[in-house]
Amino acid sequence: MTTLEKGDKAPNFSAKDQDGNTHSLSDYKGKKLVVFFYPKANTPGCTAEACDLRDNFTRFQAKNYALLGVSADNAKAQSNFKNKYEFPFPLLADEDKAVIQAFGVWGPKKFMGKEYDGIHRTTFVINENGIIDEVITSVKTKAHAAQILG
């Protein structure tokens, strides 16, 4: 789905989180950044994935990683999701899909025999210099931290 690959420069994005704070790629220079795209807040797979990342958050911090979740949900939905599960990382409310399109994770999907356009669950691991170190397209929602940290 995405055309971005390991070794590519990460798209220079800018979007607001659940509290209206703007996050840009440049804010994370000098840190490793995990940008995980998920289809919809408060759905079973997305909840499992984000909770796994939350439960391993100290491991990410110990390795100088910052985490950013992204979906097309509005700020209120993202805020409710973040507060309900006490996520220690921001969730970007990418309603205009600018970040989603920049990373190339929007496209045709199939679910129960129906085709529609939506967000492909994809995670990008970006190094301290803004270069993509890893693209994970087969996300294991209940063991995603292990996929990233090894």
Res 1: pLDDT: 62
Residue 8 maps to a domain: no
For residue 73, give its domain range: 31-149
Question: What pLDDT sits at residue 81?
Answer: 98
Alpha-carbon dihedral sign for residues 16, 22, 25, 29: negative
Residue 51 annotated in active site: no
Establish if 43 belongs to a structural domain. Answer: yes
- At 45-83, the pLDDT tens digits run 999 999 999 999 999 999 999 999 999 999 999 999 999
At 2-31, the pLDDT tens digits run 689 999 999 999 999 999 999 999 999 999
| Residues 34/54, Cβ–Cβ less than 8 Å | no
Domain total of the chain: 1
pLDDT for res 110: 86
Summarize pLDDT for 107-129 with one digit per residue, the tens: 999 888 999 999 999 999 999 99
| Residue 114 within a domain | yes
CB 55 within 8 A of CB 145: yes
The answer to the question of residue 107 being in a domain is: yes
Q: Is the pLDDT of residue 146 over 90?
A: yes
Is 81 part of any domain?
yes
Which amino acid type is present at position 122?
T
Point out the catalytic residue in the list 25, 34, 46, 53.
46
**Residues 132-143 pLDDT 10s:** 999 999 999 999
Q: Is residue 61 part of a domain?
A: yes
* In a domain? residue 22: no
pTM: 0.95
Q: Using alpha carbons, select from 35, 41, 63, 60 the residue that is nearest to residue 139.
A: 35
> Does a structural domain hold residue 64?
yes
CA angle 131, 143, 42 (to 5 degrees): 90
CATH number of residue 85's parent domain: 3.40.30.10
